[in-house]
Amino acid sequence: MTDKKTKYLFFTGKGGVGKTSLACATAVEMADAGKAVFLVSTDPASNLKDVLESPVDENIIPIYGIDNLFAINIDPENSAEEYRNRVTKPLEGIASKEEIKKSGKTFQGLYY
């Protein structure tokens, strides 16, 4: 680890390069050092639950056997759909279905 301090670390890259392994190893090391760590994955094919041997899903959970480590696996498709629904719901009864559908596509563009 470097001497620079940051609140956030991001592990990105194409599939199969070890993002999950590095993120989990870093999170465990930091948690073992006494830091409170929140590990977040937005990978639709996440295997955090296998690596951490804990039932990681769309709820924040403490990781079994590792103090200070919490994780969540956010499904980006689900989250985008929930957001679109939340944003377009107030338009119901005010705008036509076509206008709402068009608005949903605009918001969808923010996430893809």
In a domain, 97, yes or no: yes
Whole domain around residue 94: which residue ranges? 77-109
Asked if residue 58 and residue 87 are part of one domain, the reply reads no
Asked if residue 100 and residue 55 are part of one domain, the reply reads no
In a domain, 2, yes or no: no
The residue ranking higher by pLDDT, 17 or 106, is 17
- Cα 25 to Cα 32: distance, rounded to the nearest angstrom: 11
- Cα 13 to Cα 62: distance, rounded to the nearest angstrom: 26
pLDDT of 102 over the 90 cut:
no
What global pTM score does this model have?
0.69
Using one digit for the tens of pLDDT, what is the confidence trace for 76-100? Answer: 888 888 887 887 787 777 777 777 6
Asked if residue 85 and residue 42 are part of one domain, the reply reads no
Quote the number of domains for the chain: 2
Asked if residue 81 and residue 34 are part of one domain, the reply reads no
Residue 74 is which amino acid? I
Asked if residue 51 and residue 97 are part of one domain, the reply reads no
Residue 91 tokens, joined = 């338009």
In a domain, 4, yes or no: no
Q: Are 36 and 68 in contact (CB under 8 A)?
A: yes
Q: CA nearest 47: which of 77, 19, 69?
A: 19
Q: What is the pLDDT of residue 107?
A: 40
Using one digit for the tens of pLDDT, what is the confidence trace for 28-86? Answer: 999 999 999 999 988 877 788 888 889 988 889 999 999 999 999 888 888 888 887 88
In a domain, 11, yes or no: no
